Structure 1
Amino acid sequence: MNIGDKVRMLRAKEQGVVTRFLPGNQVEIEIEDGFRIPVLRSEIVVVSALESTRFQSAPGIEAQKSAKPEIISSAGIYLAFVPQNGPGNLKIVVAYLVNNTDWDLPFSIGEERENRYSGLYAEVLKARSFFKLGQPYALATFENWPTFLIQALWHRRGAASLREPLIRRLKCRTQSFQASSGPIPVLNQTGHVFQLDVEDVEEEKPVAKEAAKPLDATALRESLMGNTGKKELSAKEPAKLVRPSSIIDLHIDKLLPNGFGSRTNAELLEVQLQEFEKNLEKAIASGMDDITFIHGVGNGVLRNELHRRLGKYPGVAYFEDAQKEKFGYGATKVKIK
C-alpha cells in the first residue's frame, strides 16, 4: 500500500485515496467529500485498477453508471534523496522530485544560498512520475547544502476548479534528515523522503546567518561518514546516527519481547521488515563493510522478501547465505558497496 492508492473500507461504503501514513498502524485517507480521516490499515483494501473492466455488465445489459465521481489522488509530491557511492567511495545522494498524484505538475526548482537564488530546472512532471536532478550532493558537505525552492502549478484535463500553486522551501536539517528514511513512492527505492504538499510540512523560511545550526550538520556528517575520532561536545548534543550491530536478529520474539498483542501475521512481518530496512540504511550511511540479518528458516516468507528488497538497494554490492555452520540456513550476509 502506497500514498496515492485508491482504497475501500471493509466495514463501510466509503472509498478514498491514501494521503499519508500515521502512527499506530493507521493511514489517512481522503474520501470523496474532501475530508481526511484516519483508518486502521486492517480496515481497508486497495482497489484494483482492473476492477472496473473485470466486473462490467454482461452483453446486452446496459451497464449501470456509478453515481459516485471518479476518485482523484490529489496529494503526494515529494523531494527525495537516494544514497549512492560516488567516485572514490564518496558518500553522495541523488535528488528526485516525485509526483504520486493524478495531476500534471509544471514546476521549477532552484537553490537558495545566502539569500541568492539559482534556478536549476523547469519541466512538466507528469502524473505518477519522477524527475532526477542532475547534480549529486555529498554527505561530507551536508552543512553547505542549499535551501531547495520548489514552485509548481496543478493541471488536470477537465478539472472543475483551480488549485493554489505549490510553493515550498526545504532546508535539510540533521534530525529531520535522519528521521526521513523510508520507501519512496513511484521511484520504488529507499532513501530520505520529504512530502511537500501537506499543510504541516516543515518549511524552511529564509533566515539570517545567525539562525543556522552548523553543529547539527557537522554531527550528521561525522556520523554518516563513520568518523570515530575526537568530537566537540555541547550541552545539547544532537542525536547521532550510530552504527548498528553487525548481526541483527529479526525473530519477532526479539523485536516484540512484551508480546505480539492483536497483530496479524502481515503486521508482524511489517515489524520485521521495518527493523531490517532501518538497520540496513544505518549500515550503508555509516560506511560499514557488511551486516548479517538472522531471519530463521520457517516458511521462507521473510527471507524471500529480504532478498527481493536487497536486490533493489543501490548501496548493496551483493548478499549471500551467512556461515551455515554458525547460522544454518537462517541468516543472510549483506556486503555493502
Structure 2
Amino acid sequence: MKYKLGDFVRFVDEKMEGFVTRIIDDQMIGVTGDDDFEIPVLASKVTTVHGYVPAGSKKEDEAEEPQTPVGDFKVKGVYIGVINDPKANSVVHFYLVNDTSFQLLASLTTERTNTFKGEYSGLAAPNTATKIYSAQLADLQLWPKFVFHIVYHTKHNTEPPAPLVVNEKFKAKDFSGSKKLIPILKTQGWLIQLDEPDLVIDAQKLKESFFQSPDEKAVVDKPGTEVDLHIEKLRNDYQFLNSGEILKIQLDHFHKALDAAIVHQQPEIIFIHGAGNGTLRHEIHKLLGKHQKIQTFMDARKEKFGYGATKVVLK
C-alpha cells in the first residue's frame, strides 16, 4: 500500500479530492472530503496530490542538520506528541519530539499478536519533531503495541543516558485528559513523556515498615466518597501561597486520600478539583493513568459537578 493516513489524494475519474482517513486493505482506502463523509475507493482510482505538508512535518528533501545546543545542556525531554491532522480530524499523527540537547537514533516497531512491523527509524536532531506514525483515533482499541528504541548521542563532554526502550499499549484513558501545548510543534495535542524516571522503591524502608510494632504503624483514616481539593478547603492561609505551592498541597492531599481509599478497599472515590485552568485536573488524570490500582476514571456527574470533578473506580 503506497498511501498513508493523512495523504492528500485526488480521484482519477471524478472531480473529487480529500485525505486518506482509513486503510481498509491492500486494495481499498477510505477518503474523506470537505463534507466529512468517508468514501471507500480502490487505491488505483486515486492519485497523490503533492505539495500538502501537515503542520510540524518536514519535506523529505530537507537536510536535517544537527543543531548546536545553546545554554544549559538538556538531558531530559523525549516525548511522543499526538495531534489531530489539521485537514482530517479523525486521523492522528504521532511525532517523536526531541526537546533534549542530544541527537537521537530512534526506532518504532509495532506488534500485533506476535507479528512485528518496523514503522520508523532515523535520526532526530536536538529541538526537532518528527512524524513517525499515523492512525485512526476511532480505532484506538485496535491499535498495536508500540515499541520505542532510543539511543542518545552527542559530541559534547556529556555522558549519554542508557538506551531507552519503552513498550506502550495505549488505552482510551491515555487520551481522556486535556490537550496541552506540544513542545517544538507549538500546537495542541496529547503528550506522552518517554524518558520519565521510574518509580524507585526504597527496599530498606519497605522492610522496616513490616517490622514496626502495631503502635508504631500509622492509622489510615477512611476518606469520604467525595474529596474536595479546592485550596480554601485545605489551608486557611491559602491567600499567601503561590500557584506552585497550592498545586503541591492539592496533589499531596490527592495522594493521601487515594492511598487511604485503596487501603480501605473502597470501590470508588470522587475528587473535586474544579474547572479553573485545568492544571490540577490534568495532573490528577496523568497520575491516575499510570496507577496500577486504578481500573478506570471519568468525569463525575456533570449535572452536579460540571467538569470540575473526576470519578475514580478502584480495582
Q: What is the TM-score when the length of structure 1 is the normalising length?
A: 0.39
Higher alpha-carbon Rg: 2
